[in-house]
Structure 1
Amino acid sequence: MDRIPPTRLSRLLTGWSKGGADALPRLLAQALRELAQRGDVAAGTVLPSQRALATALGVSRSTVTAAYGLLEAGGWLESRQGSGSRLRGSGGVGEPATEGRLASFGTRDGVIDLSSGALDGLPSVAAAVGSLTARDLTAALADDGYQPYGLPALREAVAEYHRAAGLPTSPEQILVTAGSQQAVWLITQGLVEPGDTVIVEDPTYRGALEALRARGARLVPLPADAAHGDNAAALARLAGHVRPRLVYLQPSVHNPTGRGMDERTRRAWATVLAEQGLYTVEDNAYAELSLDHDEAPVSLAARLPAAGAATVGTLSKLFWGGLRLGWIRASTTVIRRLADIKRSVDLSCPVVEQMLAVKLLRHLPEARARRRSRLRERLAETERLLRARPTGWRWERPAGGSALWVEMPGTDAEATAQMARRAGVLIVPGPAFSAVDGFRHHIRLPFADHDGRLERALPVLVDCAERCRAPH
């Protein structure tokens, strides 16, 4: 009988606790019932123990006990001695629909939102919009606008972007996608079969974990400390045991840790990947947010066999999250396969946005410099704010990205996140970034806000973390 871990259930219970403390049992029972009705938790699933769920949610055990009692009274829960509390469905309930790792998106009203590291848009986006002419649009309107592989001009511009960074690329090796999340999703659909083993860093990008779990992949974690140190032999040993279908890595700027591989480490890892014949998915979504380098990010794929890697890129992180444009660079065979899948989903990315992307790619150096300057300023201010409080929290200065990977020793991050949500602050706890629900004392703390959100939220987070240092 399937059991749902308390960490995963707490992710799925996003936004359940809007109300007074007296109402918490009723609200929790209602939220659990809705999960069953939607099929997000399958009928027959054994819920966590009352103590374990209370700890994950940052509430008293009596709150969970009362909620389970309400569910049982309503016929939604069956409790048996020795076998736990089993959730009942409303009939026809299928497999769980989501891992809940991206549940923070879309639930931001009336809160201080620190759940995303996305940045505000650069002025160059508005300038690119203003520079579109009637002639540009007239030329685009000459055909039907359906470009399953992407606008030819953009595919060539992206290919040139990779060539300039030392990775020979033709336009035929580029598939334009609706951001890097769709790129990762397409790769999981096209290259991974249910039951396949995939090696992932631990922690890693939560959207990739969501896509891979939904595909039915078996995830095997590789500690990110190893992946971003010089212990490439760890991957060789692991691959020899599990024979993975592919390896998913973030070598340039890692989400959530902000680490990056130096050149020596990159060479060592490329050697192992090539010698082991491991198909590599290189996610460079955050690669343009380096805090230290002016030039284009160097691709790990440049050191791998031509047919042995797929590289994910995007303009959304550097220029603006609302510009939903990314791409996959891979062999033409893989590109054709993924384009067929994409065609069944959305036929084509918006042509006008792709025209903007062509213009924006001509201004990468200025965009990098502007972002880097702002990110450095915000990082320094964030570290000042954190050091002004005797929290005992620990972090490393990131090589890039827009967030700190913060360890809160002795503090339950899931409970802290749930308690902070009830106090009006959204934060993502470490287990959301782990294939094995690890990093239970970590949070990802975005530092690139432009309106003082972090300064307002920090007292709430510190208070909640302190209250979650001891079991409830």
Structure 2
Amino acid sequence: MARIASTRLSRLLTGWSSEGAGPLPRRLADALRELAERGDVPGGSVLPSQRELALVLGVSRSTVTAAYGLLEGEGWLESVRGSGSRLRGSGALDRYVAEGRLVSFNARSGGSGTADLSSGALPGLGAVGEAVGALTHGDLGALLGDDGYHPYGIPALREGIAAYYRAAGVATEAGQILVTSGSQQAVWLVVQALVEPGDTVVVENPTYRGALEALRARGARLVPVGGDEPDGGAGGTGSAELRRLCAHAHGRPRLVYLQPTVHNPTGRTLGGAARREWQRVLADQELFTVEDTACAELALGDGENEEADAPVPLVADLPMASTVTVGTLSKLFWGGLRVGWVRSSPQVVARLAKIKTSVDLACSVVDQLVAVRLLDRLPEARARRRAELRGQRDAAEALVRGAAPHWEWTRPAGGPALWVRIPGADTEALAQLARRQGVSVVPGAAFSPVDGFRDRLRLPYAHGTEALAAALPTLLECAERAAG
């Protein structure tokens, strides 16, 4: 029987205590039943123990005991001696249990009493609206003469993205580019094409939640390396762990997934020595490597070179046939512009395009035409974002330092958030307690392939510090209650 971890179940139960009617046990029972009805938790899944679930939800054990009792009485839960409590439902037993990563987008109530710190997505730049407004009939031109389906992307955008890399000194041709609906689709396509159930995939710990979900859904065996310190751990431990893994493991990793530049969620960027060591290990072991540069354009720099070229991928000097680079315009310009890409060998690109065609046929031509125009405005957009984010980061650090001097973090080199350690607190429980007081945050374990970093919290600052300032008193109170 499949067993669902308490941390994952906790993230699926977002909002349970404030929705519905009746006392807490009734609300919890109803929320668990709805997960089973929707198939979000497969039928047959073994739920966490009452004590364990109570801890991560920030409620008393009696609340969970009563909720389980209600479900059992209604036929939704079956107690199996020695095996725990099994949730009944119609879902397949081997179905992947998603973690509700997009709950910050699809569960927003819009209420004035909510401080939403669940997403680090940036507001759009005015350049997007200007690019849309500047489109004319002439831009569509000959494109209107065909059916509008371009599985690889329109030629002008593929060439524009290739030129983006060439400007950074990385030889690239249009045939090595596949346009995708954002970087999330790019990651998903790579996983579908290159990973089989049971394959070993090496990931950093912590790492991007969207990649973890795609890999888990595919049935990959995730092996974590490194940590959340600068350069992936003291002395570049991530690359050293990978070398040891390849030397002693029975099966070689199918691929390695990395974010060396503006890592999500930590905001770190690997230094020169650490990058070179990663390159040596990957080359020596001949490992297929996926480098996700989705947040790389959000590097904050040093304030001296605001119009720097595109970041050079770590895998640029590795054989093209064994590398994939994922990129996007959505992080820098606007999440509503769903334009990302894959850079790889023509053979890999063709394989991914075939899968993409079966999913959505092709990306929006209009979005792609807007993206062509925005590529010409990259230096301007970088400069604006970097200036804004540096000011927001500095203000957020001052705010948190003043309100919570015992909290710890490493200054991010880029990105939209602080990755904070709260000594002594279980941030899974903290997040549940905070939600019941109108504050939405994402606990550290959501970014870990092994549910680690239970004392970490991601605190976005990309929308200014107003929401963070409003949320901090609640977070401090909940941290004390979640200490243990």
- TM-score category of the 2 structures, normalised to the smaller one: over 0.9
The 1-side partners of 2:259 and 2:45 are apart by 34
The 1-side partners of 2:479 and 2:423 are apart by 10
Kindly indicate whether the alpha-carbon contact (under 8 Å) linking 2:96 and 2:216 is maintained by their aligned counterparts in 1.
no
Corresponding residue of 2:54? 54
Shift of the alpha carbon at 1:40?
2.0
1:235 aligns with 2:212: no
* Greater alpha carbon shift after TM alignment, 246-255 vs 222-231: 222-231
Corresponding residue of 2:17? 17
1:377-388 to 2 correspondences below 5 Å:
377-388=391-402
**SS of residue matched to 2:355:** helix
Corresponding residue of 2:423? 409
Shift of the alpha carbon at 1:453?
1.5
What are the superposed Cα offsets for residues 138-182 of structure 1, whole Å, 9 maximum, x if unpaired?
A: 443222110000010000000011111122111000000000000
1:266 aligns with 2:272: no
Corresponding residue of 1:285? 294
Shift of the alpha carbon at 1:21?
9.7
* Greater alpha carbon shift after TM alignment, 159-168 vs 91-100: 91-100
Shift of the alpha carbon at 1:82?
2.9
- Percent identity of paired positions between Structure 1 and Structure 2: 63
Corresponding residue of 1:112? 115
Of residues 203, 219, 224, the one that matches 1:221 is 224
What are the superposed Cα offsets for residues 12-38 of structure 1, whole Å, 9 maximum, x if unpaired?
A: 112211159962111110111112222
What are the superposed Cα offsets for residues 199-228 of structure 1, whole Å, 9 maximum, x if unpaired?
A: 000000000000000001000001234646
Corresponding residue of 2:459? 445
Kindly indicate whether the alpha-carbon contact (under 8 Å) linking 2:176 and 2:346 is maintained by their aligned counterparts in 1.
yes
**SS of residue matched to 1:445:** strand
Aligned Cα root-mean-square deviation (Å): 1.6
Corresponding residue of 1:83? 83
The 2-side partners of 1:39 and 1:64 are apart by 21
Of residues 273, 285, 307, the one that matches 2:321 is 307
1:334 aligns with 2:337: no
**SS of residue matched to 2:62:** helix
The 1-side partners of 2:50 and 2:397 are apart by 37
User: Could you tell me which amino acid in structure 1 is paired with residue 101 of structure 2?
Assistant: L
Kindly indicate whether the alpha-carbon contact (under 8 Å) linking 1:155 and 1:174 is maintained by their aligned counterparts in 2.
yes
1:154 aligns with 2:168: no
Kindly indicate whether the alpha-carbon contact (under 8 Å) linking 1:166 and 1:302 is maintained by their aligned counterparts in 2.
no
Shift of the alpha carbon at 1:112?
2.1
The 2-side partners of 1:160 and 1:150 are apart by 15
Kindly indicate whether the alpha-carbon contact (under 8 Å) linking 1:46 and 1:85 is maintained by their aligned counterparts in 2.
yes
Shift of the alpha carbon at 1:190?
0.3
Classify 1:205/1:254 alpha carbon distance in 2 versus 1 (closer, same or farther; 3 Å). Answer: same
The 1-side partners of 2:93 and 2:86 are apart by 15
**SS of residue matched to 2:170:** coil
The 2-side partners of 1:155 and 1:368 are apart by 21
Shift of the alpha carbon at 1:331?
0.5
Shift of the alpha carbon at 1:119?
0.4
The 1-side partners of 2:327 and 2:211 are apart by 14
- Per the normalisation by structure 2, the TM-score is 0.94
Gapped regions of structure 2 (runs ≥ 5): none
**SS of residue matched to 1:388:** helix
The 2-side partners of 1:192 and 1:99 are apart by 18
User: Could you tell me which amino acid in structure 2 is paired with residue 277 of structure 1?
Assistant: E
Shift of the alpha carbon at 1:43?
2.1
Of residues 300, 307, 311, the one that matches 1:297 is 311
The 1-side partners of 2:368 and 2:93 are apart by 38
Extract structure 1 runs of 4+ deviating beyond 6 A.
none
**SS of residue matched to 2:98:** coil
1:195-210 to 2 correspondences below 5 Å:
195-210=198-213
What are the superposed Cα offsets for residues 249-294 of structure 1, whole Å, 9 maximum, x if unpaired?
A: 0011100011101222211111110110000000000000001164
User: Could you tell me which amino acid in structure 1 is paired with residue 270 of structure 2?
Assistant: M
The 2-side partners of 1:382 and 1:328 are apart by 34
Kindly indicate whether the alpha-carbon contact (under 8 Å) linking 1:255 and 1:286 is maintained by their aligned counterparts in 2.
yes
Corresponding residue of 2:382? 368
**SS of residue matched to 2:403:** coil
Shift of the alpha carbon at 1:11?
1.3
The 2-side partners of 1:453 and 1:389 are apart by 14
Kindly indicate whether the alpha-carbon contact (under 8 Å) linking 1:408 and 1:441 is maintained by their aligned counterparts in 2.
yes
Shift of the alpha carbon at 1:313?
0.1
* Greater alpha carbon shift after TM alignment, 27-36 vs 184-193: 27-36
The 1-side partners of 2:125 and 2:382 are apart by 10
The 1-side partners of 2:88 and 2:127 are apart by 53
Kindly indicate whether the alpha-carbon contact (under 8 Å) linking 1:267 and 1:303 is maintained by their aligned counterparts in 2.
no
User: Could you tell me which amino acid in structure 2 is paired with residue 12 of structure 1?
Assistant: L
User: Could you tell me which amino acid in structure 1 is paired with residue 412 of structure 2?
Assistant: P
**SS of residue matched to 2:379:** helix
What are the superposed Cα offsets for residues 49-94 of structure 1, whole Å, 9 maximum, x if unpaired?
A: 11100001111111101100100110111124432212122x4644
Corresponding residue of 1:26? 26
